[in-house]
Amino acid sequence: VINAEKSEFNEDQAACSQISIQRREPGLEEDKEWLILCSTQFLSGYYWALFDGHGGPEAAIIASNYLHYCIKQKLEEVVGGITEAHPPMHLSGRCVCDSDPQFVEEKHIHTEDLVVGALENAFQECDEVIGQEMEATNQTGGCTALAALYFQGKLYVANAGDSRAILVLKDNIVPMSCEFTPETERQRIQHLAFLFPKLLDGEFTRFEFPRRLKGDDVGQKVLYRDYFMEGWGYKTVEKADLKYPLVHGHGKQ
């Protein structure tokens, strides 16, 4: 990566790697070590990323060394849903309601949405790690992040900040990313609920689910999305999640 003499330090970083996804479904606690030792590659993808630091190279260096690990981890967490033709409401495959598949279908949730959700969660976790590291070392600064993931025959592009990707064709140039800004009212409202939880008055949950959750869902991993997500992920249901969802339906409520 060429620094272009922007500063004394190289604030531009890059990374590329093959990401191997392991399918681990340990039962008993003593099985975990054995599965880690004997785990085999289940799915694989290819990852490329660029990071443009500002205020120093530290954040870009951390991101280039850690983001791909976050992506691998988040994909492994939802691999059980990715390998299904249609993502199940419960990651375990349990069906609390007979109409659960219908609720998922009505939300138009596909396996690609789980990959998108994993990327978004990975970016969020990496951002938190960078923040903690910068605070611990009393440093300031940040970086943009632009990542491309080729996974299961599809190319996914994720970005934060003003770094962009384009696809150059013979007679055309196709934008593959855009600046990282909230694009829907859902995300804006959920973000406000995250920043000011008192506004929920203990009556609502900011998370979105394919349907209203029930008591039998508590403790299960179900489909959800948060303010920073356009894709979907799986969340372990807590009692607080049984509250009425702040965002419900298809934009009419």
Summarised one tens digit per residue, pLDDT across range 12-51 is: 899 999 999 987 554 545 455 544 544 555 789 999 999 9
Does residue 51 lie within any of the structural domains?
yes
The count of structural domains within the chain is 1
Determine the Cα–Cα distance for residues 104 and 87; give it in Å rounded to an integer. 8
Does residue 195 lie within any of the structural domains?
no
pLDDT tens across 51-78, in order?
999 888 999 999 999 999 999 999 999 9
Does residue 164 lie within any of the structural domains?
yes
Determine the Cα–Cα distance for residues 27 and 201; give it in Å rounded to an integer. 39
Look at residue 149 in the predicted model and tell me its pLDDT: 98
Does residue 61 lie within any of the structural domains?
yes
Look at residue 182 in the predicted model and tell me its pLDDT: 40
- Longest CA–CA span in the chain (Å) reads 62
Residue 110: burial class (beta carbons within 10 Å; 0-12, 13-18, 19+) = middle
Q: Give the residue numbers spanning the domain of 121.
A: 12-181
| Global pTM value | 0.74
Structure-token pair, residue 179: 């600046």
Look at residue 183 in the predicted model and tell me its pLDDT: 45
Determine the Cα–Cα distance for residues 157 and 71; give it in Å rounded to an integer. 12
Structure-token pair, residue 18: 């093959």
CA 123 to chain centre: 6
Q: Quick one: what percent of the chain has pLDDT higher than 70?
A: 85
Does residue 31 lie within any of the structural domains?
yes
pLDDT tens across 126-171, in order?
999 999 999 999 988 899 999 999 999 999 999 988 788 999 998 9
- CA distance readout (Å), 52 to 63, 114, 235: 10, 27, 32
State the amino acid at position 71 in one-letter form: I
Does residue 7 lie within any of the structural domains?
no
Structure-token pair, residue 77: 């967490």
Look at residue 213 in the predicted model and tell me its pLDDT: 95
Determine the Cα–Cα distance for residues 203 and 240; give it in Å rounded to an integer. 9
Determine the Cα–Cα distance for residues 239 and 221; give it in Å rounded to an integer. 13
Backbone angles phi, psi at 198, to 5 degrees: -65, -25
Backbone angles phi, psi at 120, to 5 degrees: -65, -40
> Is the pLDDT at 227 greater than 80, yes or no?
yes
Look at residue 61 in the predicted model and tell me its pLDDT: 93
Look at residue 221 in the predicted model and tell me its pLDDT: 96
Q: Are strands 244-245 and 204-205 parallel, antiparallel or unpaired?
A: parallel
Do 237 and 219 contact (CB within 8 A), yes or no? yes
Apex 62 CA angle, 70 and 149, nearest 5: 40
Look at residue 95 in the predicted model and tell me its pLDDT: 84
Does residue 116 lie within any of the structural domains?
yes
Do 216 and 210 contact (CB within 8 A), yes or no? no
